[in-house]
Amino acid sequence: MIEFPSHSISPIGIIHSCYPEKFGIPRQPGLVKSSSGRLALLPPYNREEMVRGLDAFSHIWIQFLFHEAVVDGWRPTVRPPWLGGQKRVGVFASRSPHRPNYLGLSVVRLTGICQDKHGLFLEIAELDLLDQTPVVDIKPYVPYSDGIVGASGGFIPPPESVEREVVFSEEAAIFCRDYEQRTGRRLRSLICESLEQDPRPASQRRQMREYGMALWDVNVRWQAQGERFLVLMILER
């Protein structure tokens, strides 16, 4: 057995995101342009000097704990959604949250760094992170070595370019308009882009039923009719 120094990991920050629940979160970052949030640095890491120079980068890597997967445990093989939830692959050949150590890795857009009386925050967008996710490390994204031209994506395909229409009821459209004026959040495009990803599990894609999706502090009720998504109503949570 190789000897190495004993070390435990604890969070350096916490995510505040538009996704209070797992259902509706995209499968990878970069897919929903209007998704956004903040990474709040925790003491003793909430010091301006610790992020000095980071604002020069457009994107950052966030390493985090899949904290909501820990209670379910992990398995050596998983059924990734990319394979229609049928075929099994090794957990280390997947991006599943249910993995030993439960560590996640996402590249997100860095839109700002701000300090106010509540603390030090990184403003982030295009994310796939649940609200309250504990963050264990941050690194700048380095295009020349992190972006590999011609890399093979294995069985994880780029997102399908299916044309999906998202239609709002009059009530839902009015709610969005008022909410956007009140909060400055781009709720309507967040809903459209999230539904364009079709958040339903592969097994339910043929069914006609109503779904609820939590975004920020609202609950969005919607229904799929083929490739057409109807936003029925939006309620405060």
Residue 133 C-beta: closest distance to ligand SAH, Å: 4
- For the window 132-171, what string marks contact with ligand SAH as x by the rule CB under 6 A? -x--------------------------------------
Applying the rule CB under 6 A, the residues between 20 and 39 that interact with ligand SAH are: 22, 25, 27-29
The arrangement of strands across the sheet holding 165-168 comes to 165-168, 228-236, 218-225, 210-215
Of these, 95, 139, 164, 200, which contacts ligand SAH (CB under 6 A)?
95
Residues numbered 96-125 forming contacts with ligand SAH, rule: CB under 6 A: 97, 104-106
Q: Counting contacts by CB under 6 A, is residue 69 touching ligand SAH? A: yes
Q: Which of 16, 18, 17 is nearest to 191 (CA)?
A: 18
Q: Which is nearer to ligand SAH, 128 or 168 (CB)?
A: 128
List 78, 110, 124, 129, residue binding ligand SAH (CB under 6 A) = 129
Residues 200-203: contacts with CB within 8 Å, 24+ apart?
Answer: 200/224, 201/81, 201/85, 202/81, 202/84, 202/85, 203/85
What is the total residue count of the chain? 237
Q: Give the DSSP H/E element, type plus range, for residue 41.
A: strand 36-41
What is the DSSP secondary structure assignment for residue 158, as one 8-state letter?
A: P
Q: How far apart are CA 186 and CA 35, in angstroms?
A: 9
Total interface residues for ligand SAH by CB under 6 A = 18
Residues forming the site for ligand SAH (CB under 6 A): 22, 25, 27-29, 66-69, 95, 97, 104-106, 128-130, 133
